[in-house]
Amino acid sequence: MNFKKKPITWCPGCGNFGILRAFEKAASKFKKIVVSSGIGCHGKISDYLILPSCHVIHGRVPPFLTGIKLANPELTVVGFVGDGDALNEGIEHLIHAAKRNTDITIFLHNNGVFGLTTGQVTATSPKGFKSKSTPKGNPEEPLNPIALMLVSGATFVARGYAGKVEHLSKIMYEAMKHKGFSFVEILQPCVSFNNTWKAYSKLVYEIDKPMDFESAIKLSYETSRIPIGIFYKTKKESFEEIMLNL
């Protein structure tokens, strides 16, 4: 367990600072929180919070949190994952946690790049993106994390932006309060390897309320502008309610 904040080593201007601030505000409203994070720049967030926390191996945040929730269902269980961490290395774990409707919250720091290893493409890098691993441009289309989580069975699906801290904090609070699997994609500029600040600040707009499943899927494919907010929310028995007869 880690109860001492470490000096922050993120690059100045990194979107992770906004995520940290938004989470600190949201988390202050909960009593018993446990946190885990994956491997990457995002994963350092565990070291910057005064909360029980644990860094786990690449892509394995969801099963680790599932075990914690089963052992002690009273806890609010939160995971921070990267796009490479959760959509390349450990995508199967994310899908199955959503499918089980485990009562955990996953915050995806989506910077569209492997940041810590200094800039290779991930599953969410845009087509044509020039990086160390794709000097001629990424030949693949990006995954759509919102649509993926919707079809996998997540019962709370949202998107926030690291540049809109208040808005993001409210979404984080709602996600942690939700009973069942909650997923928040967070648009996170990486100033060193994929600087999206300008583009996001121009394109994001807030949606006012969750919608039905089909509309949420459709909206997740909008590209001319980028919607942020709660896309979808529904009630369903959670994994631990079934397993532990709660």
d(CA 99, CA 78): 17
- Helix, coil or strand: residue 188: coil
d(CA 11, CA 175): 27
The one-letter amino acid at 93:
H
Whose tokens are 């915050």? That residue is 107
Nearer to Mg ion, 15 or 229 (CB): 15
Write the binding mask 89 to 118 for ligand SF4: x where contact by CB under 6 A, - elsewhere: ----------------------x---x---
181 lies in the site for ligand SF4, by CB under 6 A? no
Segment contacting ligand TPP by CB under 6 A, of 27-35, 112-120, 126-134, 149-157 = 112-120
* Nearest residue (CB) to Mg ion, 107 versus 232: 107
- What sign does the dihedral 199-115-64-145 (CA atoms) show? positive
Minimum distance from residue 150 beta carbon to ligand SF4 (Å): 26
- Interface with ligand TPP in residues 73-102 (CB under 6 A): 82-85, 89
By CB under 6 A, residue 211 contacts ligand SF4? no
What is the SS3 assignment for 178?
A: coil
Decide: 53 and 37 in contact? Cβ < 8 Å.
yes
Selection from Mg ion, ligand TPP, ligand SF4, none that 143 binds (CB < 5 to 8 A by kind) is: none
Which of 108-116, 132-140, 209-217, 222-230 is the region at the interface with ligand TPP (rule: CB under 6 A)?
Answer: 108-116
CA-to-CA separations, 151 to 158, 207, 223, in angstroms, rounded: 14, 20, 19
* Site residues for Mg ion per CB under 5 A: 82-84, 111, 115
